[in-house]
Structure 1
């Protein structure tokens, strides 16, 4: 396999950081909005459209907004770490970004597999006694996702800042 030049690796790492920063901002602010306006409470209590099952992409569901961008967040942060590894000054921030992003992705996977199907996509909305404990668990795990996305976004931003300063010759130490 051909060796990639250092300059080319830097360009790739910079582009991956651009993607990671955009996707983590999308993820963070989407998650924040979702929690503040209590989207899960609304979706969990909503009836399906007549003749159609409740769906991850149905009316009111944030799935249609996350689906195009969310899956690239963790891979972009991990790839930025791999391609930017040779830059010692930004390495720790890239590690924090990749770890936080992976943590948030794992929490999301848990929600998507274990909580969301029962809470949001059952044939009919759950009654209050079954819905309330699931919503409570959903919000606890969502708080972890929100924190992970905030940390990842801040770490990606810090790594980008360090890399940009080094490119223009500004010593940030």
Structure 2
């Protein structure tokens, strides 16, 4: 691989890592906030109204916050892995970032398909007895998602450090 091609690849990798770091920070801190202030409990118990429809993008729903950025998490981590594969200082961290991102993406897909529709988007809130087991499941899967997003964010940061170190050492 020529120097110009390698330099372009370094720029692409650096930009992908920067974007991945941003999206994973967004994901982690959004997930943390959601858990700390117990957003799911509030949304699941809310009555539908014109101002607060029980929909994925209704007022109060985290969907409005996540929709613009969250779908980019896994693709950016995987693209950074491919683009930075030739850098031994960042490769292990890129693998961890992509794998953690995929685990978090799978947990999110499970929640979106299996739990959220019943819990948050039924025409009326569920009774407390029906809501509690779904919330318990939601928080358990969310803990996996929160851990995965934290690991992915840390790994992307470490990959960026390794990538910069490789560049400074002139590793091709």
TM-score, scaled relative to structure 2: 0.93
Moved over 6 A (4+): none
- 1:31 aligned residue: 31
2-structure distance, mates of 1:50, 1:25: 33
Please state how far the C-alpha of 1:164 moved relative to its aligned partner: 1.7
2-structure distance, mates of 1:137, 1:40: 11
Please state how far the C-alpha of 1:169 moved relative to its aligned partner: 4.1
Q: Are residues 52 and 146 of structure 1, via their aligned partners in 2, closer, same or farther at CA, if it must alter by over 3 Å? A: closer
- 2:96 aligned residue: 96
- 2:86 aligned residue: 86
Q: Unaligned regions of 5+ residues in structure 1, if any?
A: none
> What root-mean-square deviation, in Å, do the aligned CA atoms of Structure 1 and Structure 2 show?
1.8
- 1:64 aligned residue: 64
Q: Unaligned regions of 5+ residues in structure 2, if any?
A: none
2-structure distance, mates of 1:46, 1:164: 48
Q: Deviations over 1:41-93 (max 9, x none)?
A: 00000011149851111121110000000000110000000010011121000
**Higher mean C-alpha deviation, range 54-63 or range 124-133:** 54-63
Instruction: Indicate whether 1:164 and 2:127 are aligned.
Output: no
Correspondence list, 1:15-164, <5 A? 15-50=15-50, 53-164=53-164
Please state how far the C-alpha of 1:132 moved relative to its aligned partner: 0.2
Q: Are residues 168 and 51 of structure 1, via their aligned partners in 2, closer, same or farther at CA, if it must alter by over 3 Å? A: closer
Aligned length in residues: 168
TM-score, scaled relative to structure 1: 0.93
Q: Are residues 124 and 162 of structure 1, via their aligned partners in 2, closer, same or farther at CA, if it must alter by over 3 Å? A: same
Contact 2:43 2:120 in 1 (8 A): yes
Please state how far the C-alpha of 1:9 moved relative to its aligned partner: 1.1
2-structure distance, mates of 1:63, 1:12: 30
Please state how far the C-alpha of 1:167 moved relative to its aligned partner: 2.6
